Amino acid sequence: MREPRVKIEGEGYYHLYSRIVLGNFLIDEKKKAKLLEMLKKVAYFSGMEVLTYAIMDNHFHVLVHVLPKDGITREVVLERYAVLYGEDEAEELKEKWENWEKAGMEHRINEEMEILTARMGDISRFMQNLKQRFTQTYNLMTGNRGTIWQGRFGSTLVEGKMGTLAHFATYIEENPVRAGIAKKAGDYKYTGLGAAKKGDETAQNGISGIYFGCPICEAMASFEGMLAVRHFEKRSEELISSAVAG
């Protein structure tokens, strides 16, 4: 029997990750761009702020801030719906609701609002949506059938403190370094810091969110400084070990 997932109601921070079945290296450059695009859209619809991420060849990590669900209005739902499904779909939904309202059928609007908001603010629904959407796109691109993901996604409830968030973000950012495809964190294109350094405003805002809204330039400097210290410490340990072994 699988263990229940640790989640809290309402606002929270989570480290989420998922692997490709059998560890296969299926996510090439083009598919990484697709997965990143979907990650941003699904996160926005789900009421989540992506603080940072790492999309690798056979897995991905994401650190998210689940925003409070209080006061989600019809306008907010329509805005999020437009990001995920497109402006035309959102306009059709808006017109349908307006017609129901004119016909005195507000209960139908409330029913659909409940269905849509139930998909927001929940990490399980978020990851299900993201992984299913990417699987569909992957299969269309490759002719594959069935899921490409290995079982359940992993999740860790993260304490909402700056130091803890920075620790988890550092672990995520160092994935490409540990995999040997980047010399240092921030050099890899498909991480939050890598994108932020190239001017991606969403990624920059995510790094700022790790430091609770600290100005982007200060947050970037703090985060890169922390990563640089870790890189120096690890390099020093390697040199010492090499010297002792020699």
Kindly indicate the confidence band of residue 230, based on its pLDDT and cuts at 50, 70 and 90: confident
pLDDT at 245 over 60: no
pLDDT at residue 23, rounded to an integer = 85
The pLDDT score that the predictor gives to residue 94 is 97
Predicted confidence at residue 8, as pLDDT, reads 84
The chain-wide mean pLDDT, for the chain, equals 91
Q: Could you read off the pLDDT of 3-43 as tens digits, one per residue?
A: 677 888 889 999 999 999 978 899 999 999 999 999 999 99
Residue 186's nearest CA partner among 230, 154, 130 is: 230
User: What pLDDT shows up at residue 229?
Assistant: 76
Predicted pLDDT at 233:
63
**Per-residue pLDDT, 6:** 80
3-state secondary structure of 52: strand
Of the pLDDT bands very low, low, confident and very high (cuts 50, 70, 90), residue 242 is very low
**If you ran DSSP here, which 8-state letter would residue 17 be given?**
E
CA angle 163, 119, 47 (to 5 degrees): 40
**pTM for the predicted model, two decimal places:** 0.90
pLDDT higher than threshold 70 for residue 160:
yes
Residue 244 has pLDDT above 60, yes or no: no
Percent of the chain with pLDDT over 70: 92
Question: Among candidates 48, 76, 47, 60, which has minimal Cα distance to 20?
Answer: 60
Residues 98 and 213: their CA atoms lie apart, in Å, by 37
**Predicted local distance difference test score (pLDDT) of residue 53:** 98
pLDDT band at 117 (very low <50, low <70, confident <90, very high): very high
